Chain A
Amino acid sequence: MLKYLLKRFARSLLTLFLILTIVFILVRQMPIEGYFPNFEKMTQEQIDNGLHQMGLDQPMIVQLGQFYWNLLHGDLGVSRVYNRGKPVWDILKTKIPISVQLGSLSILFSMLVGLPMGVIMAKRKGKLADHLGTGFIVLIQAVPAAVYYLFIQLYGTELLGLKLRFEPENWVSWLLPILSLSLGNIAYYAMWLRRYMVDESTKDYIMLARIKGASDGRIMYHHIFRNAFVPMAQYLPTSFLNTVVGSIYIESLWSIKGMGGLLVDVVHKQDNNMILGIVLLFACVGILGLMLGDLLMVLFDPRISIVKKAGED
Chain B
Amino acid sequence: MKKLLAMLLCFAMVSALVPAMADGGTYTVFYGSEVSTLNYLVTSTTWDQSMAANIVDCLVEYNNLGQIIPSLAESWEVSEDGLVWTFHLRQGVKWYDCFGEEKAEVTANDFVAAMKYILTPEYESAVASQVYSAKIVNAEAYYNGEVTDFAEVGVKAVDDYTLVYTLSAPVPYFLSATTYVTFLPAYGPLLEELGADFGLDNQSLYYCGAYILETFEPQSEHLLVKNQNYWDAEHVYIEAIHRLYNAESATLAPVAALRGEVDSADIDNDILDDWLTNHPELVTKGRADLQYSYFYCFDFVPQYEEEYDPANWVKAVNNKNFRLSIMAAFDRVYSLTAEDAENPESLLANVITPPAFASVGDTDYVNLPAFDAAKAKYYSGDNTAAIAYKEAAIAELTEAGATFPVKVVLTYKSSDANWANQVQLVKSQLEGVLGTDYIDVVLYAGPSDNFLSSTRRAGKYSIMRCNWGADYADPETWTDPFAAGNSYNFMDKMLDSEYAETVADLNTYYAMVEAAKAEVSDMDARYQLFAKAEAFLIENAFVIPYRTETADYMVTKIDAFEGEYASFGVCNLKYKFQHLQDDFITAEENAASFAAWQEALNN
Contact = CB atoms under 8 A, between A and B. Distances in A.
Asked whether any CB of A lies within 8 Å of a CB of B in the complex, the reply is yes
Interface of A: 30-34, 36-43, 45-46, 49-50, 53, 81-86, 150, 153-154, 158, 163-165, 251-253, 255, 257, 261, 268-270
B244 A85 contact: no
A206 B43 CA distance: 69
Contact of B255 (A50, A83, A154, A257): A154
Contacts of B39: 84-85
A251 to B, nearest CB: 8
Contacts of A33: 450, 452-453, 457
A61 B245 CA distance: 40
B127 interface: yes
A95 to B, nearest CB: 8
B136 to A, nearest CB: 15
A129 to B, nearest CB: 37
Contact of B220 (A84, A163, A255, A270): A255
A164 B256 contact: yes
Contacts of B122: 53
B450 A42 contact: no
Contacts of B454: 31
B429 to A, nearest CB: 29
B36 A82 contact: yes
Interface string B444-488: 000011101110010000000000000100000000000000000
A163 B201 CA distance: 28
Contacts of A269: 36
B121 interface: yes
A255 B200 contact: no
Contacts of A45: 143-144
A30 B451 CA distance: 12
B248 A85 contact: no
Contacts of A164: 246, 252, 255-256, 259, 261
Given A45-B143, A83-B34, A255 B244 contact: yes
B247 A50 contact: no
A85 B220 contact: no
A99 to B, nearest CB: 12
A150 B121 CA distance: 46
B45 interface: yes
B219 A38 contact: no
A252 B220 contact: no
Given A37-B36, A85-B200, A268-B449, 4 more contacts: A34-B449, A84-B42, A253-B248, A255-B246
Given A34-B449, A41-B44, A53-B122, A261 B36 contact: no
A32 B454 CA distance: 11
A46 B247 contact: no
B37 interface: yes
A163 B260 CA distance: 10
Given A85-B197, A252-B247, A261-B247, A39 B36 contact: no
B29 to A, nearest CB: 12
Contacts of A158: 259
B247 A85 contact: no
A165 B244 contact: yes
Contact of B261 (A50, A154, A163): A163
A41 B180 CA distance: 15
A165 B246 contact: yes
Interface in B234-282: 244-248, 251-252, 255-256, 259, 261
Nearest to A33: B453
A31 B458 CA distance: 12
Interface string B195-210: 0110111000000000
A41 B469 CA distance: 10
A41 B131 CA distance: 12
A255 B449 contact: no
Contacts of B201: 86
B11 to A, nearest CB: 15
Nearest to B480: A41
A50 B128 CA distance: 12
Contact of A38 (B126, B245, B252, B449): B126
B196 A85 contact: yes
B129 interface: yes
Among all A-B residue pairs, the 10 with the closest Cβ atoms? A38-B44, A252-B247, A84-B37, A33-B453, A38-B126, A31-B450, A49-B121, A255-B246, A31-B453, A33-B450
23 contacts: A30-B449, A32-B453, A37-B43, A37-B44, A37-B126, A38-B126, A41-B44, A41-B129, A41-B471, A45-B144, A49-B121, A83-B34, A83-B218, A84-B200, A85-B37, A158-B259, A164-B259, A165-B246, A252-B246, A253-B252, A255-B244, A257-B220, A268-B448
A257 B132 CA distance: 40
A242 B248 CA distance: 22
Nearest to B456: A40
Contacts of A251: 247
B200 A86 contact: yes
A22 B245 CA distance: 33
A225 B214 CA distance: 57
A255 B220 CA distance: 7
Contacts of B245: 255
A82 B42 CA distance: 14
B531 to A, nearest CB: 24
Nearest to B471: A41
B261 A255 contact: no
A30 B450 contact: yes
B416 interface: no
Q: Which of B220, B252, B448 gathers the greatest number of chain A CB atoms within 10 Å?
A: B252
Contact of B36 (A41, A46, A83, A257): A83
B364 interface: no
Contacts of B197: 85
Nearest to A269: B36
Contacts of A37: 36, 43-45, 126
Contacts of A255: 219-220, 244-247
B120 to A, nearest CB: 10
A81 B261 CA distance: 30
B382 interface: no
Contacts of A86: 200-201
A266 B458 CA distance: 25
Interface string B21-61: 00000000000001011010011110000000000000000
Contacts of B128: 46
B160 interface: no
B514 interface: no
Contacts of B255: 154, 164
B148 to A, nearest CB: 16
Nearest to A79: B36
Contacts of A49: 121, 124
Nearest to A158: B259
Contacts of A43: 129, 132
Contacts of A53: 121-122, 124
A162 to B, nearest CB: 10
Contacts of B43: 37
A84 B36 contact: yes
B124 A50 contact: yes
B261 to A, nearest CB: 6
Nearest to A52: B121
